[in-house]
Structure 1
Amino acid sequence: MDTSNRFAQFAPAIQALELDRINAPSDIPASFLLGQEKKLTSHYIPFDSVNPSARLVLVGITPGFTQWKNAMREAQRQLRAGASADVAHRAAKQTGAFSGEMRPKLIGLLDHIGLHQWLGLTSCSALFHSASHLVQTTSILRDPVFITGAKKPNYNGTPNMIRSDFLRAQIEAGFAKEAQALEKAVFVPLGSKVSEGLDWLVQRGVIPADRILHGLPHPSGANAERIAYFLGRKDRLALSAKTNAARLDRINRDLKESVANLRRPQS
């Protein structure tokens, strides 16, 4: 699968999209289908640009349907307004990446461990606006993977991406090549499944282990309690039994220490 910059190839189909009629992954036109294996499907999203000057790489598991639709809407808006393919592509990625309710949670977590200070920013919110040159937003499965017929169709790590030939091939053709172009960047995996995938790439010599900051809680609604405790917004005594406070304390401490020891990026 060619996962280089494919935006120009898909631009006509993006302009023709009737986005208000696309309410679920199953509604996505076949023209965006990249591959399928049993119930797993992969669809194009304009997230394939690489920012070689990035100092921070935010790595999700795969874009969800909300991100797909937001990115396509912005790309369509730009193209219909006469923007160049390059401008439309970059705007779509900046708008769609980690969009929705996930983004403010992510910003809060990044600021909490001190990454804004390391980057010389007031807040990591600037990474999605004026300081976008410092960040590469991506996913280990760069194009959205959906599960046909599932109540929650966004892929969440099952089946295991490393044990699936279909998913592993996408990592190798997409994210692995992207990571090799980001020689000076620090990688932040979002979620344990992404961490496992990055460790697999470490074993293959794609990413040095010392450039990965493991452990940040995933900024999803399902992690609300863990995030609240991690950020100091919920007392330990108020936690439910499903939240491991000692583990979160350790991760919190280790991440802050790792960030404090990072060499300041050169401008």
Structure 2
Amino acid sequence: MILSSKFESYTEAMRALPAHTSLTKAQLLTEEFLIERCGPADMYYAPHNEYMNRSAQVVIIGLTPGWTQMKAAFEEARRGLELGLTQEAISKAAKEEASFAGTMRHNLTGMLNTLGLHHYLGIPSCGELFLGHRNLLHTTSLLRYPVFIGEKNYTGSNPDLLTTAFLRERALAFLAEELSLLDRPLIIPLGKKVEGVMHLARKEGILDPARCLWGFPHPSGANGHRLKQFNANLEEMRRRLREIGGAG
């Protein structure tokens, strides 16, 4: 399903993007695609997190789409518009192309396999979540649309996500909307910044903490401590996964 009508607002701007070439920040980080600005934080449109897989058994939640994901989503959407596909088909294809695109997807699937999530789901490998078993997965971000500080990916700091009203309120609103549409999936928040908002959501009654796998690091290559964090929390995450699986 589609979560908003924003796609229609940006369709003509997406059609006007140059075809058959790699898109640049100069073409996408523009006033034309700007949704909101608050202090140093700029939130831009991207089409991939418009799509919602309501039947997902696993939901992986990142912080906000980075440039790699934004670029991949726009290039896929541009292709879909050229082919005359529907909004839902375009947004779904953009989601499949952009979700944790780049080295993050490799890092993420490696850690999920080590965790044993594929056994929990009954599939050969967690890489299949991005291929033939995509129906089991919903990926999203606390901040549904890409946020940049200047032209740099927002990392949850400077300004701090939890203490900046604009960002905190958007994150909680997006999270509440998506969780209300899902049927008790396993939820994997990526990294401490995301977990901080998830704990706030728990206090506000938005989130069932019993369905969450706490302690999973963000898979970005920029997170040099991810393997240390993952290994430190591995046995506890495996225990939680067994508990959640047993609870159905």
TM-score by length of 1: 0.84
User: Which whole-Å CA distance do the structure 1 matches of 2:213 and 2:231 have between them?
Assistant: 15
Contact persistence 2:142–2:172 (CA under 8 A) = no
Q: Is 1:143 aligned to residue 142 of structure 2?
A: no
**Structure 2 counterpart of 1:260, from 229, 242, 247:** 242
Q: Which one is further off, 171-180 or 155-164? A: 171-180
> Structure 2 matches for 1:66-145, cutoff 5 A?
66-145=68-147
* Structure 2: unaligned runs, 5 residues or longer: none
* Structure 1: unaligned runs, 5 residues or longer: 228-242
Give 3-state SS (helix, strand or coil) of 2:138's partner. strand
Query: Are residues 54 and 157 of structure 1, via their aligned partners in 2, closer, same or farther at CA, if it must alter by over 3 Å?
Result: same
User: Which whole-Å CA distance do the structure 2 matches of 1:264 and 1:14 have between them?
Assistant: 46
Give 3-state SS (helix, strand or coil) of 1:223's partner. coil
Q: Which residue of 1 aligns with 2:195?
A: 195
> Structure 2 matches for 1:25-64, cutoff 5 A?
28-46=29-47, 47-64=49-66
User: Which whole-Å CA distance do the structure 2 matches of 1:211 and 1:122 have between them?
Assistant: 23
User: Which whole-Å CA distance do the structure 1 matches of 2:231 and 2:90 have between them?
Assistant: 42
Q: Which one is further off, 173-182 or 89-98? A: 173-182
Give 3-state SS (helix, strand or coil) of 1:78's partner. helix
Number of equivalent positions? 243
Q: Which residue of 1 aligns with 2:9?
A: 9
For the pair shown, the structure with the greater C-alpha radius of gyration is: 1
Contact persistence 1:188–1:213 (CA under 8 A) = yes
Q: What amino acid sits opposite 2:170 in the alignment?
A: Q
C-alpha offsets along residues 86-123 of structure 1, whole Å, 9 cap, x if unaligned? 11110001100110111011011111111111111111
Query: Are residues 163 and 25 of structure 1, via their aligned partners in 2, closer, same or farther at CA, if it must alter by over 3 Å?
Result: farther
Give 3-state SS (helix, strand or coil) of 1:261's partner. helix
Q: Which residue of 2 aligns with 1:170?
A: 170
Q: What amino acid sits opposite 2:74 in the alignment?
A: M
Compute the displacement of 1:224 (Å).
Answer: 4.5
User: Which whole-Å CA distance do the structure 2 matches of 1:128 and 1:185 have between them?
Assistant: 17
Q: What amino acid sits opposite 2:178 in the alignment?
A: E
Q: What amino acid sits opposite 1:116 in the alignment?
A: H
RMSD, matched Cα: 2.2
User: Which whole-Å CA distance do the structure 1 matches of 2:173 and 2:225 have between them?
Assistant: 36
User: Which whole-Å CA distance do the structure 1 matches of 2:67 and 2:242 have between them?
Assistant: 35
Q: Which one is further off, 53-62 or 26-35? A: 26-35
Q: What amino acid sits opposite 2:142 in the alignment?
A: I
Q: What amino acid sits opposite 1:166 in the alignment?
A: F
User: Which whole-Å CA distance do the structure 2 matches of 1:65 and 1:112 have between them?
Assistant: 28
C-alpha offsets along residues 15-58 of structure 1, whole Å, 9 cap, x if unaligned? 21237575337852322111001110001111122211111111
Q: Which residue of 1 aligns with 2:182?
A: 182
Contact persistence 2:64–2:147 (CA under 8 A) = yes
User: Which whole-Å CA distance do the structure 1 matches of 2:110 and 2:176 have between them?
Assistant: 27
Q: Which residue of 2 aligns with 1:220?
A: 220
Contact persistence 2:172–2:197 (CA under 8 A) = no
Q: What amino acid sits opposite 1:43 in the alignment?
A: Y
Compute the displacement of 1:213 (Å).
Answer: 0.5
